[in-house]
């Protein structure tokens, strides 16, 4: 099937052609005719299957035949990266039309985003929290919304956005059409769809969740403490040019980035504690090839779309199979080929087993030639929380003991020495430890 066979306005077909899309992906060829026909839509398809254009094209088509000036479509997305990506896609598809789109997300000032509401951007793509912030003001009425999209609905639920989504729905008029897009359809999502969709047409491209075709998956089994060293060796070898590397926590993302850079591998990181400007810069630098490796946490990686990203490395095994599929979906998007490597330590085996059952395949295990599997391990990337707390407690107890001993010595000394000495001491002291008085500031953030 060709795009021309879909009943889309010629200006949109030109936008599609400019983006280099020749044929609609399966989800696009199924969803677009349904959406163009009116009515609600529930679509479930793997990450990277082309869902964005599947909802944007019919909406853009609908927006073209009426006068503009009010916001008529609202897209909800879980992260700022994803919101920005969707607006980017919109601008590409709509480039031969007058339709405008704007992103509304946290991490940047509210001021510039007001204009999107005031000027009536045709499509607003928003993260739920920031949208609710704007709803407190009159300018953000959104009374003209006809199309509503929930994109990456599963992820929005995982991130706890359900109450926010419900508040958004109460604030806007009942849309003419609601589109619900998700990579997976767990029971809470099904319940949500029953609440908000009216008699939806359903398009599900696969029952069983599985990574996109064309991804070669492999597992490197390795002692946990040697994961860092193994990744360094993998990256120094022939096999990998650039890679998106996933860690479980922000802290581990920071540490791993440092480890890679120390070993001469140019790496950047992207996670929820970094400012929007930092994230945008890291992503742009990675896309431009300035750094070979982008280290990311799952949530920050949503919406990352890098053309021809060759490799995904799961430095940490994801806790849930869906995250594995999402991560691996970052490579081999839209039918290209890519590789997904997972570093598996002994304690990861049970999570890995669940993932293999969920994807319905045994993933081949391999060893890296020439790697010193028996080497002395690096210190761990992250000292376990319990150990960290114990170390802090021990240090505090030691400090207290030292202060007490010192106070005792002082008291004993004072008994034998004349009065004048204490007052001519070097500095006034605010406690028994004899430390000079020093103003203590709160930790700056
Ligand atoms: P999803 O939302 O399902 O994860 P996206 O909509 O982000 O997937 O699309 C994934 C990638 O595929 C993007 O880089 C997009 O530009 C590309 N793409 C989408 N549709 C097509 C198409 N019909 N032909 C070729 N590439 C496409
Ligand atoms: Mg998407």
Tens-place pLDDT, residues 216-237? 889 999 999 999 999 999 998 8
> What confidence tens digit (pLDDT) does each residue in 290-299 have?
889 999 987 6
Distance CA 347, CA 364 (A): 18
Query: Rounded CA gap, 304 and 301, in Å?
Result: 5
Task: Single out the residue of 333, 260, 323, 252 nearest to residue 293, CA to CA.
Answer: 260
Q: Which atom of ligand 1 is nearest to the CA of 303?
A: 7
Q: What is the pLDDT of residue 207?
A: 43
Ligand 1 pocket list (CB less than 6 A): 21, 23-25, 28, 45, 47-53, 305, 333-334
Q: Decide if pLDDT at 134 tops 60.
A: yes
Question: Which two structure tokens, joined as six digits, stand for 55?
Answer: 């909802």
The pLDDT of residue 303 is 57
How far apart are the C-alpha atoms of 246 and 259, rounded to whole Å? 14
Average pLDDT of the chain to the nearest whole number: 84
**Which has more pLDDT, 126 or 47?**
126
d(CA 278, CA 184): 30
Question: pLDDT at residue 282 above 90?
Answer: no
Average pLDDT score over residue span 82-107? 95
- Determine which residue's CA is closest to atom 12 belonging to ligand 1: 334
Regarding beta strands 177-182 and 147-150, do their DSSP bridges make them parallel or antiparallel, or are they unpaired?
parallel
Q: Residue 214's pLDDT is what?
A: 67
Is residue 71 a contact partner of residue 117, using CB atoms and an 8 Å limit?
Answer: yes
- Contact partners, residue 283, CB within 8 Å, separation at least 6: 81, 270, 294, 304
Please tell me the predicted confidence (pLDDT) of residue 410: 82
Q: Is the pLDDT of residue 336 over 50?
A: yes
Cα 137 to ligand 2 centre (Å)? 30
- In the block, residue with structure tokens 């509503």: 148
CA-nearest of 150, 174, 176, 160 to 44 is: 150
Q: Of 256-260, 321-325, 373-377, 424-428, where does mean pLDDT reach its minimum?
A: 424-428
pLDDT (0 to 100) of residue 64: 94
Helices 321-328 and 349-359 sit at what angle, rounded to 10 degrees? Answer: 70
pLDDT at residue number 347: 92
CB distance 113 to 49 below 8 Å: no
Q: In what order do the strands lie in the sheet with 201-204?
A: 101-104, 123-126, 73-76, 147-150, 177-182, 41-44, 201-204
CA of 316 to the centre of ligand 2 (A): 23
Q: Above pLDDT 70, what percent of the chain?
A: 84
Q: Which residues contact 273 (CB under 8 A, 6 or more apart)?
A: 250
Beta strand spans in 247-400 (E): 267-270, 293-296, 311-314, 338-344, 365-366
**Candidate from 84, 334, 335 with most ligand 1 atoms within 8 A of CB, to mutate:** 334
- Please report the pLDDT score of residue 437 as a whole number: 41
Listed by start position, the domains of the chain span 3-204, 215-382
Please check the confidence at residue 63 and state whether its pLDDT lies above 50: yes
> Among 145-154, 258-267, 279-288, 384-393, which stretch is predicted with the lowest mean pLDDT?
384-393
Question: Is pLDDT above 80 for 444?
Answer: no
Q: Which two tokens stand for residue 378?
A: 């690096």
The model's pTM is: 0.58
How high is the pLDDT of residue 307? 54
Single out the residue of 50, 18, 54 nearest to residue 33, CA to CA: 54
Of the pLDDT bands very low, low, confident and very high (cuts 50, 70, 90), residue 266 is very high
**CA pair distance 174, 24, nearest whole angstrom:** 30
Cα–Cα dist 399/433, whole Å: 10
Lowest mean pLDDT among 279-293, 381-395, 431-445: 431-445
- The closest residue, in CA terms, to atom 18 on ligand 1 is 50
What is the CATH number that goes with domain 3-204? 3.40.50.300
Q: How far is the CA of 377 from the centre of ligand 1 (A)?
A: 41
CA of 305 to the centre of ligand 1 (A): 9
Side by side, the strands of the sheet bearing 311-314 are 267-270, 293-296, 243-246, 311-314, 338-344, 215-221, 365-366
pLDDT tier at 304 (50, 70, 90 boundaries)?
A: low
The whole-number average pLDDT for the span 19-37 is 92
Dist. CA 390 → ligand 1 center (Å): 49
Q: Kindly give the number of the ligand 1 atom that is closest to the alpha carbon of 47.
A: 4
Rounded CA-CA distance 104/80 in Å is: 8
pLDDT exceeds cutoff 70 at 302: no
Indicate which residue's Cα is closest to atom 19 of ligand 1: 50
Output the CA 56–ligand 2 centroid distance in Å: 11
Residue 218 phi, psi (nearest 5):
-150, 150
Q: How far apart (Å, rounded) are the C-alpha atoms in residues 213 and 338? A: 9
Burial class (CB in 10 A: 0-12, 13-18, 19+), 149: buried
Express each pLDDT in 406-439 by its tens digit: 888 888 776 654 444 444 434 443 344 444 444 4
Architecture (CATH level 2) of domain 215-382: 3-Layer(aba) Sandwich (3.40)
Distance 349 CA to ligand 2 centre (A): 30
Instruction: Report the 10 Å Cβ neighbour count for 54.
Output: 26
Does residue 276 carry a pLDDT above 60?
A: yes
For residue 305, the ligand 1 atom closest to its alpha carbon is: 14
Q: Which of 182, 198, 168, 196 is nearest to 74 (CA)?
A: 168
Q: Please report the pLDDT score of residue 216 as a whole number.
A: 82
Closest ligand (CA of 3): 1
DSSP H or E run through 91: helix 80-93
For 32-48, the pLDDT digits (tens) are 999 999 999 999 887 77
Nearest CA to ligand 1 atom 9: 50
pLDDT tens across 170-223, in order?
999 999 999 999 987 778 888 889 989 999 999 987 644 455 566 788 999 999
Determine how many CB atoms are found less than 10 A away from the CB of residue 35.
Answer: 26
- Looking at the predicted structure, is the pLDDT value of residue 339 above 50? yes
> Per-residue pLDDT averaged across 240-258, rounded?
91
pLDDT at 270 over 80: yes
């Amino acid at each position: 099937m060709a795009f021309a066979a879909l009943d889309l306005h010629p200006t949109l077909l030109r936008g599609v052609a400019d983006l280099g899309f020749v044929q609609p992906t399966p989800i696009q060829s199924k969803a677009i005719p349904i959406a163009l026909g009116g009515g609600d839509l529930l679509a479930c398809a793997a990450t990277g299957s082309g869902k964005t254009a599947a909802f944007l094209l019919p909406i853009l088509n609908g927006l073209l035949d009426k006068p503009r000036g009010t916001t008529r479509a609202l897209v909800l997305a879980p992260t700022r990266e994803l919101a920005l990506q969707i607006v980017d896609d919109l601008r590409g598809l709509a480039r031969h039309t007058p339709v405008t789109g704007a992103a509304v997300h946290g991490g940047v000032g509210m001021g510039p985003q007001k204009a999107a509401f005031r000027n009536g951007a045709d499509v607003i793509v928003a993260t739920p929290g920031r949208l609710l912030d704007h709803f407190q003001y009159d300018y953000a009425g959104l009374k003209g919304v006809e199309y509503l999209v929930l994109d990456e609905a599963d992820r929005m639920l995982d991130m706890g956005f359900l109450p926010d989504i419900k508040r958004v729905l109460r604030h806007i008029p009942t849309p003419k059409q609601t589109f619900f897009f998700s990579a997976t359809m767990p029971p809470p999502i099904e319940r949500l769809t029953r609440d908000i969709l009216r008699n939806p047409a359903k398009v599900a491209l696969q029952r069983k969740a599985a990574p996109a075709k064309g991804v070669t998956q492999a597992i490197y089994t390795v002692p946990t403490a040697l994961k860092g060293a193994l990744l360094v060796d993998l990256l120094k070898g022939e096999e990998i040019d650039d890679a998106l590397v996933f860690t479980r926590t922000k802290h581990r993302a920071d540490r791993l980035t440092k480890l890679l850079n120390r070993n001469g591998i140019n790496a950047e990181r992207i996670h929820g504690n970094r400012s929007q400007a930092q994230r945008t810069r890291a992503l742009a630098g990675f896309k431009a090839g300035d750094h070979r490796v982008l280290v990311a946490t799952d949530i920050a990686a949503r919406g990352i779309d890098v053309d021809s990203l060759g490799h995904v490395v799961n430095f940490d095994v994801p806790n849930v199979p869906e995250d594995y599929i999402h991560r691996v979906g970052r490579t081999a998007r839209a039918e290209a080929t890519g590789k997904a490597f997972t570093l598996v330590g002994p304690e990861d085996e049970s999570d890995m087993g669940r993932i293999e059952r969920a994807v319905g395949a045994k993933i081949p295990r391999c060893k890296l030639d020439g790697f010193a599997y028996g080497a002395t391990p690096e210190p761990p990337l992250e000292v376990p929380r319990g150990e960290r707390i114990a170390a802090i407690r021990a240090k505090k107890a030691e400090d207290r003991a030292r202060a007490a001993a010192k106070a005792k010595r002082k008291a004993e000394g004072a008994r034998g020495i004349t009065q004048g000495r204490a007052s001519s001491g070097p500095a006034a002291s605010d406690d028994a430890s004899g430390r000079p008085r020093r103003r203590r500031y709160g930790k700056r953030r």
